[in-house]
Structure formats: C-alpha cells, structure tokens
Structure 1
C-alpha cells in the first residue's frame, strides 16, 4: 500500500500522468489518418489531371449562312484518341449546328484542327465546348 501511495506521490510531484501511453497511440493514429487523407487527395488530383483535355478555340470563319468553320487546338496526353463536340451558335446563343468528331491517336501533345459545321440558320460564332478521351 505504501508503494502505490509513494508511486502516486512521485507521479504527482514530477508531472507524470498515468495513461500517457494511450494518448501517444491516439496521436499516432490521428497522424496516420491525416497522412492517408493527404495521400488520397494527392492521388485523385494527379489522376484527374492525367486525363484532362485542354481546348483553345483559335478562330472561326462564317463560310456562308449555312456553314461555319471552327479552328481550334487540343492539348492532351500523347498517343491518345480524342472526341470533340463542335457547335455553331446564333446571336442569342442558340445552337444552330453541331458535330461530334473523333480523332485518332497521335504522338503530338498539342494538335490543331479545323472543322466545318453545317447550320440551320446563320451562325455568329463557332465553339468547341467539350473534348474527351474516349
């Protein structure tokens, strides 16, 4: 009984607390979870950017009242095929023509294209709203 009492007095005097081992394992667990969360977020960010397709419309030309030509470039991972939607719009941003075009794989990182889109009415602009790796 004196041994336990003496040990308790020493612990109180020098600031030692019982159960500090449990707290240490709790902090190790919290640290492991934090490392896992950061790793997961990093991996998903990298995975999303590797399949990203960047589109830049470089110009458009109104051929006549029923056709518009859209010039654009696509930047994506080398050696991958790509599919793009090309559309023509009128003054009220209504879609008056569109096409889905598939391009084969190519070793170039950035590729340039020019496509003519037939329209149902006179277009005022040509756009490429979306491209993706099939």
Structure 2
C-alpha cells in the first residue's frame, strides 16, 4: 500500500523551505538599496560646466568664460584647455573655485599657451 508521504514525494508535493527564499529576498533588497544610495550620492556631488565663450588675448594666452552648476557650499576644481586649429591641446590650467552660496557660478580664467590657440573650453570639473 502507498502512503501519503510516498505520494507526496512522487508528485512533488513536498514541503518547501522558506529560509532560502527569505535570505534571497533580503539580499536582493540590500543590493537595490545600495545601488539606490550610490546613485543618490553620486548625483549630490555632480558638477556641470557650460562654456560661455572665449577671447584670444594674444599668441600666448586665451581667456575662457564658463559657468559651473551643481554643488552648493563645496569647493570645485576645473580643467580649462586651450586648443589649436587641429584640436590639439596647446595649454591647460587647473582652476580652483571657492565654495559659494549660489547654485551656479560664472568664472573667467586665462590659460597660458605654448602656441597660437583658436579656442578655449572646460574639459571637466569635480568637487574638491
């Protein structure tokens, strides 16, 4: 005679363990939370720089005007470059921008060059 336990084993009606499911769901929730926190943390310290224009002062310098938007109350550092007509870098400068009360700041920087430049621009900015 076949018992109920044998029938359950034969047709897959055994008790399922809940422990591995609970652990799996907890790990997935922690992973989603960590990813969310990394995303929020990165966006809180992101800096955006927009070129406003440039003036060729002479053969050895370019004045670059740009606007930095993003972090309020933290120092920011930007790399400003001068390029020649073949888009080669002929000069660059690190520009330190002190923390301010405004969400966006207009900045002007003079970049020394080793050859005649045709343009000037901001390469990148970050929170110092």
Q: Could you say which TM-score interval applies, normalised by the shorter chain?
A: 0.7 to 0.9
Counterpart secondary structure, 2:102 = coil
| 1:91 maps to 2:88 | no
TM-score by length of 1: 0.83
1:34 maps to what in 2? 28
Matched, 1:103 2:97: yes
Relative to structure 1, the CA distance from residue 81 to residue 10 in structure 2 (aligned partners, 3 Å threshold; closer, same or farther) is same
| Equivalent residue runs for 1:28-67 within 5 Å | 28-67=22-61
The structure with the greater share of residues assigned to helix is: 1
Deviations 1:32-81 (A, max 9, x none): 12111111111111111111111111111112222211110011211111
Ranges in structure 1 where 5+ consecutive residues have no aligned partner? none
Equivalent-residue separation in structure 1 for 2:22 and 2:66 (angstroms): 52
* Secondary structure in structure 2 of the residue aligned to 1:74: strand
Q: Residues 2-46 of structure 1: CA distance to partner in whole angstroms, max 9, x if unpaired?
A: 9x93x437858xx782232x1x32222221121111111111111
| Max Rg structure | 1
Which of the residues 7, 17, 24 maps onto 2:13? 17
The answer on 1:72 being equivalent to 2:78 is no
CA RMSD for the aligned pairs? 2.2
Q: Which residue of 2 aligns with 1:128?
A: 122
